[in-house]
Structure 1
Amino acid sequence: MRKNERLYYFDWLRVLAFWLLIFFHSWQPFNNFHWLIKSNNTSIIADILTVFTHGWRLHLIFLVSGLGTWFAMKTTKKQFFKNRFKRLIIPFTFASLFITPSQRFFQALQDKEAFQNYFYFLEGYPSRILDHDFSFSFLLWFKEIGIHLWYLPYLLVMTFVLYPIFTKIKNKEIKFDWIKNVMNKPYGIFVLALPIFTCRLILKPIFPAYTDWADFFTYLWSFLYGFVLINDIDYWMVIIKRNKNKLLIVGVLCSLSLIIGSSNENLVSAYLNPKFDWYHVLISTLSALIAFSWIMYFVALFSEKMNFKSFILPEANNSILPIYVLHQSIIVAVGYYIVQLNLGSLIEFLIILITTILVCLLLYKFLKRHAVLKTLFGIK
């Protein structure tokens, strides 16, 4: 990569990773998995899409976060962490206090809990949230307090954990010669899925809850890979592009296996309530290969098809954080009323999706005009 060269495909990849969340959360009311609000009209297509995308969507987000961290570290350490706090913790705190509680409100309404109004619900909200004892699994507080915003403090914790390693990588104090030797093997690239597999295999039976330590360390590897990738982009893109077809084939086969396996009670149990058995080994193998194969395939694909400038790209990039903060609360609020109309899963989904996108864009246009609101929503 030439100095100051802009890699537009990474910008597009970041936009994809975060905008996919709007689609993903908009179809959650229609699958057969637990979520905040549910429709009586379920769809097997929503089930399949959920199983397929959930295997790699968050790994893709952490990968592009690793890329962004590399660029953010071009400033001083003090300024870097100041910016991290401003862009992560301020939006998380503000939204957790004033935006995301509405999601619990609509969830409670659908569960037939009665409240005189939203403000009466808020009076009991702190005790509702704080009535937990997560003990060593304190990472779960991020999801309990911020709901979908757990990613923001997660990313800050990951940054603190990996910052010393990131510094050594940037200063070329850590060499990857032995890994590069493995990459020359026919299927050597898949060795990089081993750490994800190992973390899930060992930790998931101990910390099975979503966003607990098992998820933290599996996502941590994708975050690290994003940083390593951009630090030596020319080399790694040669490797990734060379293995593009293999990544796609492995990703498709493993995803199909997981989707088909979701009809097997033993495999479902191993996924939801993992124990140290062979079913867990199989699920961990599939999960690691799905996560790694798809995110690397998307890197290869976007480098070939999406490395171009567009007038919408700067705005699309700048809108990511505020829209991420807002989107799920809008989906839940709109969805609560729409699913009661019993219009069928496809019509309900489209109304929720389109309404959410329009409201998010309108709110973003408003927020970016006010300095205080820009800070509260992490807008640059």
Structure 2
Amino acid sequence: MERHYGLDWLRIGAFALLIFYHIGMVFVPWGFHVKTAQPMDWVAIPMMAANTWRLLLLFVVSGYASRALLAKGSGFGAFMRSRSARLLIPLAFGMIVIVPTQPWIDLSTQHGYGAGFWTFFTHDYFGFRAIDGIALPTWQHLWFVAYLWLYTMILALGGMLLGRNSLQAAFDRLFGGAWLWILPTIWLIIVSAWLFPGGRETHALFGDWVAHASYFPAFLFGFAFAGSRGGFVAVARWWRWAAASAVIAYAIAVAIEWAWPVDVPTPYPYGLIFSVARAVQGWATIIALIGIADRYWNRDAPWRATLTEAVFPFYIIHQTVIVGVEWLLRPYGLSPFAEFVILVATTIAGCWAFYLIGREIGWLRPLIGLRRRGPVHPPAIATLAAAEA
């Protein structure tokens, strides 16, 4: 496989967007672990521009990265061992050390939990039971790592049974031309409008069929797309049309959301139209972004290697910083704008501090998702595969 810097930048951008999206969750009326004193309905409109595709994109680029890692490795067995270490160790560390602050703040501010953090951590967090509907212990935002590990293991086991390239030709035939855009869109419409109408993701791994039906195919798509020259040709031809379709579909979804906001029931057939529009918007945006990355971003830059390595540590710590800082800000009654500015500044600073300190400490590196061995600072030739997340 040839190195593709554009997909590096796309992955970096996807994780950066995720951080800003979770900051936005503080202000939107939707449920979150900590909320501003006065959530604003209008924040849902810009949030809707990203929430149909942001996670799909993460699984697509993770599938792409998995293909690159497998191509440079020594077989499926070694691939499974490497991925398990790189994903499960940070997941366990995150659940034990990074995450617990979040459910404690959630319970304290929104569920009437009265005990302090230390009591919560030592007596309740590892109780393997639910408190007011919140299952403990929890992985919170790190559910993505657990799902990625599961999909990776299924992929590797399938590869061991079928061979590395046995299905690549079928992918190239099935997803040639515009079908690369059309077929996944049809599947996402089926998932959202027919199989699971009104369904919500649980991120509990077992029984979360809404999420698995969307994200596992996206992961497999990214894996197969990485080896498909015809796929890149198709994206280059159709991404502009996909971008226009994404904008139109977003406008339709926004119009319906504006007419029936948040908890107001949406009458038939507008609820169905809303689901279809969001599915169309989601995959069309994926195709458009891959096309933009391939056309304009496929070039190296001094900061790319560092950012490629940093995104996984950023992901591990960012939501705990957001939730913790907003909890500290709540008693001061600041304006939403002031809270937003402080959250952005402190989250970026906290993520950089977590990464810059962690990468210099050998035993801490694998706990925050970095390689144990090798240079502390990523080499200039680092690729999408270097982050392995």
Q: Could you tell me whether the CA contact under 8 Å between 1:322 and 1:378 is conserved in 2?
A: yes
Aligned partner of 2:91 in structure 1 is: 92
Aligned partner of 1:285 in structure 2 is: 276
Shift, 1:192, TM fit:
2.7
Residue number among 229, 248, 252 corresponding to 2:247 in the alignment: 252
Aligned partner of 1:208 in structure 2 is: 200
1:214-233 alignment to 2 at 5 Å?
214-232=210-228
Q: Could you tell me whether the CA contact under 8 Å between 1:100 and 1:329 is conserved in 2?
A: yes
Shift, 1:174, TM fit:
4.5
1:53-72 alignment to 2 at 5 Å?
53-72=50-69
Q: Could you tell me whether the CA contact under 8 Å between 2:191 and 2:197 is conserved in 1?
A: no
Distance in 2 separating the partners of 1:294 and 1:311: 28
Shift, 1:16, TM fit:
0.7
1:3-18 alignment to 2 at 5 Å?
5-18=2-15
Q: Could you tell me whether the CA contact under 8 Å between 1:200 and 1:218 is conserved in 2?
A: no
Q: Could you tell me whether the CA contact under 8 Å between 1:73 and 1:80 is conserved in 2?
A: yes
Shift, 1:34, TM fit:
1.0
Deviations 1:24-59 (A, max 9, x none): 111211111111111123334521122221111001
1:354 equivalent to 2:353? Answer no
Aligned partner of 2:303 in structure 1 is: 312
Aligned partner of 2:386 in structure 1 is: none
Aligned partner of 1:161 in structure 2 is: 154
Shift, 1:332, TM fit:
0.4
Quick one: structure 1 residues 40 and 207, their matched pair in 2 at CA, closer, same or farther if it must change by over 3 Å? closer
User: Mind listing any 5+ residue stretches in structure 2 that lack a counterpart?
Assistant: 372-389
Q: Could you tell me whether the CA contact under 8 Å between 1:325 and 1:377 is conserved in 2?
A: yes
Quick one: structure 1 residues 228 and 174, their matched pair in 2 at CA, closer, same or farther if it must change by over 3 Å? closer
Deviations 1:200-237 (A, max 9, x none): 334424953433211111111211221121111x3212
Quick one: structure 1 residues 345 and 59, their matched pair in 2 at CA, closer, same or farther if it must change by over 3 Å? same
Residue number among 349, 360, 367 corresponding to 1:376 in the alignment: 367
Cα RMSD over matched residues? 2.9
Shift, 1:343, TM fit:
2.2
Quick one: structure 1 residues 240 and 173, their matched pair in 2 at CA, closer, same or farther if it must change by over 3 Å? closer
Q: Give secondary structure in 1 for the equivalent of 2:354.
A: helix
Aligned partner of 2:331 in structure 1 is: 340
Distance in 2 separating the partners of 1:266 and 1:330: 29
User: Mind listing any 5+ residue stretches in structure 1 that lack a counterpart?
Assistant: 135-139
Q: Give secondary structure in 2 for the equivalent of 1:145.
A: coil
Shift, 1:335, TM fit:
0.9
Shift, 1:270, TM fit:
7.4
| Larger relative helix fraction | 1
Distance in 2 separating the partners of 1:174 and 1:103: 42
Q: Mean Cα displacement is larger for which, 169-178 or 332-341?
A: 169-178
Q: Percent identity?
A: 22
TM-score, normalised via structure 1 length: 0.86
Aligned partner of 2:375 in structure 1 is: none
Q: Which amino acid aligns with 2:165?
A: N
Aligned partner of 1:117 in structure 2 is: 116
Q: Give secondary structure in 1 for the equivalent of 2:215.
A: helix
Q: Give secondary structure in 1 for the equivalent of 2:26.
A: helix
Q: Could you tell me whether the CA contact under 8 Å between 1:196 and 1:221 is conserved in 2?
A: no
1:328 equivalent to 2:322? Answer no
Distance in 2 separating the partners of 1:131 and 1:42: 27
Q: Which amino acid aligns with 1:156?
A: W
Deviations 1:235-266 (A, max 9, x none): 21221121122111111111121122113449
Distance in 2 separating the partners of 1:144 and 1:259: 36
Shift, 1:327, TM fit:
0.5
Q: Could you tell me whether the CA contact under 8 Å between 2:245 and 2:281 is conserved in 1?
A: yes
TM-score, normalised via structure 2 length: 0.84
Residue number among 173, 176, 179 corresponding to 2:174 in the alignment: 179
Deviations 1:100-134 (A, max 9, x none): 010111222323735453211213433775238x9
Distance in 2 separating the partners of 1:283 and 1:215: 18
Aligned partner of 1:28 in structure 2 is: 25
Aligned partner of 1:137 in structure 2 is: none
**How many residues get paired?**
363
Distance in 1 separating the partners of 2:195 and 2:121: 36
Q: Which amino acid aligns with 1:171?
A: N
Aligned partner of 1:101 in structure 2 is: 100
Q: Mean Cα displacement is larger for which, 158-167 or 25-34?
A: 158-167
Residue number among 258, 261, 274 corresponding to 1:263 in the alignment: 258
Distance in 2 separating the partners of 1:128 and 1:51: 36
Q: Could you tell me whether the CA contact under 8 Å between 1:166 and 1:227 is conserved in 2?
A: no
Aligned partner of 2:139 in structure 1 is: 146
Q: Give secondary structure in 2 for the equivalent of 1:154.
A: helix
Distance in 2 separating the partners of 1:99 and 1:315: 23
Quick one: structure 1 residues 112 and 83, their matched pair in 2 at CA, closer, same or farther if it must change by over 3 Å? same
Quick one: structure 1 residues 194 and 165, their matched pair in 2 at CA, closer, same or farther if it must change by over 3 Å? farther
Aligned partner of 2:232 in structure 1 is: 237
1:194 equivalent to 2:186? Answer yes
Quick one: structure 1 residues 20 and 88, their matched pair in 2 at CA, closer, same or farther if it must change by over 3 Å? same
Distance in 2 separating the partners of 1:195 and 1:92: 30
Shift, 1:278, TM fit:
5.0
